[in-house]
Amino acid sequence: MKPRAIIVGSKAIVYDKSFGNELFKKFFGKPFSTSKPKPERDYEPPFVLSLYEALYLCEKDLLTPVINGREASCKDLELYAKATVPNFAERYLVYKDLRDRGYVVRSGMKFGADFAIYEIGPGYEHAPYVVRVIKRDEVLDPIEIVMIGRLSHSVRKRSVLAVVDVEHSVVSYLVFKWVRM
Closest CA to 63 of 98, 102, 26, 93: 26
pTM: 0.93
Known catalytic residues are 118, 126, 157
Q: For 15-27, what is each residue's pLDDT tens digit?
A: 999 999 999 999 9
Same domain (yes/no): 67, 151? no
**Confidence check: pLDDT of 71 > 90:** yes
Query: In the chain, what is the greatest distance between 2 CA atoms, to the nearest angstrom?
Result: 59
Question: Which of the two residues, 175 and 29, has the higher pLDDT score?
Answer: 29
Q: List the CATH number of the domain containing 148.
A: 3.40.1350.10
Closest CA to 55 of 97, 96, 84: 96
**Confidence check: pLDDT of 56 > 90:** yes
Q: Torsion-angle region of residue 160: left (phi > 0), alpha (psi -120 to 50) or beta?
A: beta
- Domain count for the chain: 2
Whether 90 and 163 have beta carbons less than 8 Å apart is answered as: no
Q: Domain boundary residue among 85, 109, 136?
A: 85
**Confidence check: pLDDT of 8 > 80:** yes
Q: For 88-139, what is each residue's pLDDT tens digit?
A: 999 999 999 999 999 999 999 988 899 999 999 998 899 999 999 999 999 8
